[in-house]
Chain A
Amino acid sequence: MSSAATPAAVDTVMGAVALSERPRSLWRDAMARLHTRKLNYVYASVLAIYALVAIIAFTPLLGKSVFDAQVGAQYAPPAFTGTVEQGTANEHSTIRPSLWLGTDIAGRSVLYKLLYGTRVALTVSLLASILSVVIGTVLGLLAGYYRGWVDALITWLYTTINSIPWILLMVALAYALKDREFKMFGQEFKLVGIPSIVMALGLTSWVGLCRLMRGEVLKHRERDYVAAAKAVGAGTSRIIFRHILPNTFHLVIIDFTLGIVSFVQAEVILSFLGLGVKDQPSWGVMIDDAKLELMRNVWWQFAGATAAIFGLSICLNFLGDALRDALDPRLRGVD
């Protein structure tokens, strides 16, 4: 017997090893699939830029005084440079980023408002998405796992909510929560702007995920691995959170991603209906403000805010689709 270490032989051994390779984990596999499409990196980078801008907007760097300041004449069109220190001896023209996207009715910088608006958009949509995903996941897991009256109650709740047109319910809730004062723990809370929008969006948008999760859990709780976990004495919460949740988590991720898109868009509608944020610039308010500007040929505020929403939505949409394909067990193909 000789151990022939020819390249061909090594190749074959590799082949044999590959043959017995264990299936990669769902997540590793999904990442590998996402990685194969380089465009996904583009989407992710654009999203990272949005996030970065939002974070910067939380720092004094782009604080209220910056976007609130008058930087030029009313409705000054976009310009690369502008005059500074007007009327002084030192008057000269220089590059002024604040004018790159023109000014609004009060002479404020549209660009700064736009950048600052990222903060509102991302805060609202992320928080609302988290809220709806948490409600949907928890209720879905409970309904699917416990069945019986818990399931009946939760099913009834989501069927009912699903029977009210979403826009209507969302708007009604936003209306109901607007400027509400609550007494809680001996303290007064006033729901202004963001919290009431987040609640209106989050509390009305969990039904789809809840229903999906319930279905998946019903399927998974019959699987062998759950029986095995029970057999070794795992408690209910351990089974739900350690065993079933990881197997259904891809649904949560996808719902979360696509939720953000619809919430960014919903914020525009709420702003239009006078239910949006009040004291700080948001894309929705900007578009709403711009509804008559366009007829006066003042297009920059409208274009800027629309483009900002468009860019964010499209990246999230494509990334959401990619995630869906990468994570969908049905589409994972030959294994």
Chain B
Amino acid sequence: MAKPLLELRDLNVAFNTERGQIRPVRDVSYSIYPGQTLAVVGESGCGKSVTALSILRLIPSPPGKVLSGEVQFEGRDLLDLSEREMRGVRGRDIAMIFQEPMTSLNPVYTIGDQIAEAVMLHQKVKQKQAYEIAEQAMRDVGISDPGRRLFEYPHQMSGGMRQRVMIAMALSCKPKLLIADEPTTALDVTIQAQILELLRKIQRDTGMAMLLITHDLGVVAENADVVAVMYASRVVEYAPVEELFDAPLHPYTQGLLKSVPRLGAHSERLVSIPGTVPNPARFPGGCKFHPRCPRTREAAAVAGAETVEVVTAEERFRVLETCAVKEPLLREVSKGHWAACHLAEGFESSPTTRPDLANKRAVVARAVGSMIT
């Protein structure tokens, strides 16, 4: 089997806030193979961005800090590199694009300056050549009239154009891995489709691997090879994309899939699971999903079950004692399918292994609606 390009091992990140430490990322592991797309999905605040930023060691510090774990990239642990070595990785081996194209470019420099800066940082070229490379990169991402656009400022462009500029900048040094943190969330639907199409094309052409962070299951269905579902700082399910859509094991994933409207519509946010997203400063004990989990309530209704009562602002109900007390950790429940739920079939007897899948999807794109049965 091929070796993974990037391998996250049990990453733990903390923020020291005034109200004490919060831990938005716990024991997160995933791996990405060359040419593969790993999608990370989950509700807002579950730790997707913080995980991604810690790969490049860019979490704001203070207050952020990586407590433990490894970020293996081509045989090196990025967390052990010196700041100088790390700079060589950023932008050249691993590039990143962000959610907010509006604010992610420096307002006082021209587009050309900013792309050329990335080029000059990693390639031994003169300024003039750097601008030529920048121009080519802009052409590659479908920006018309790049010669003129080079000298424009970010605020002169539309959001979609700026995101293209971000992509051009990220790709100008031909990275092996692109981290795309919600690259389309801030854009409107037609532009979203164009940007994703662009990313797919680039991936086909260059064989680049991609870590795609998103809220949007439609995007996942069309782009991902493997999916990691995160909930409240942990990966709760990990599977190849077809498997995940066909046979989700975790009740949270099932909820997510149910919340996608059947007929098309990509941009639905994952909002329809009842209950509130837990605040990382006050995570519930046991399984962090238990205050919202329908499965444990059903199980608690069965006579003879060991249950405890849960009281929230809205309601009172009973859940299984195990769910409320013991946190389930990710296990390989069936071959190549990891989940973290006490009530997943065969969970108790499954091995606790680190999730790792080299899968590539068979079909390039499928409509979301057809996947949900």
Contact = CB atoms under 8 A, between A and B. Distances in A.
A325 B17 CA distance: 13
Given A1-B303, A9-B308, A16 B284 contact: yes
A25 to B, nearest CB: 16
A18 B282 contact: yes
Contact of A3 (B22, B279, B281, B308): B308
Nearest to A16: B310
B279 A335 contact: yes
A2 B278 CA distance: 27
B321 A9 contact: yes
B291 interface: yes
Contact of A333 (B17, B284, B310): B17
Contact of A20 (B300, B312, B324): B312
Nearest to A334: B281
Interface in A303-333: 325, 333
A12 B314 contact: no
Nearest to A10: B308
Contacts of A13: 308-311, 324
Contacts of A17: 311-312
Contacts of A16: 284, 290-291, 310-312, 324
What's the interface size class on A, roughly?
20 to 34
A4 B308 contact: yes
B286 interface: yes
A3 B290 CA distance: 17
A97 to B, nearest CB: 43
Interface in B170-185: none
A192 B308 CA distance: 74
A181 interface: no
B17 A19 contact: no
B313 interface: yes
Contact of A2 (B19, B306, B310, B314): B306
A37 to B, nearest CB: 9
Contact of A12 (B17, B284, B313): B284
A15 interface: yes
A36 interface: yes
A333 B22 CA distance: 11
A36 B20 CA distance: 10
A325 B284 CA distance: 28
A19 B291 contact: yes
A22 interface: yes
A13 B319 CA distance: 10
A21 interface: yes
Interface in B253-295: 276, 278-286, 290-291
B26 interface: no
Contact of B285 (A6, A15, A33): A15
Contacts of A33: 18
A4 B283 CA distance: 22
B19 A333 contact: yes
B305 interface: yes
A33 B20 CA distance: 11
A74 B170 CA distance: 78
Interface of A: 1-4, 6, 8-9, 11-13, 15-22, 33, 36, 325, 333-335
Interface of B: 17-19, 22, 276, 278-286, 290-291, 300, 303-314, 318, 321, 324-325
Given A8-B285, A15-B285, A16-B310, 17 more contacts: A2-B307, A3-B309, A4-B307, A4-B321, A12-B325, A13-B308, A13-B310, A15-B282, A16-B290, A16-B311, A16-B312, A16-B324, A17-B311, A18-B282, A19-B284, A334-B17, A334-B280
28 contacts: A2-B306, A3-B309, A4-B321, A9-B321, A12-B290, A12-B310, A12-B324, A13-B309, A13-B310, A15-B282, A15-B283, A15-B285, A15-B286, A16-B311, A16-B324, A17-B311, A18-B284, A19-B276, A19-B278, A19-B279, A19-B284, A20-B276, A20-B314, A21-B313, A22-B313, A325-B18, A333-B18, A333-B19
Listed from nearest, the 5 A-B pairs whose CB atoms lie closest are: A20-B313, A20-B312, A12-B324, A15-B284, A15-B285
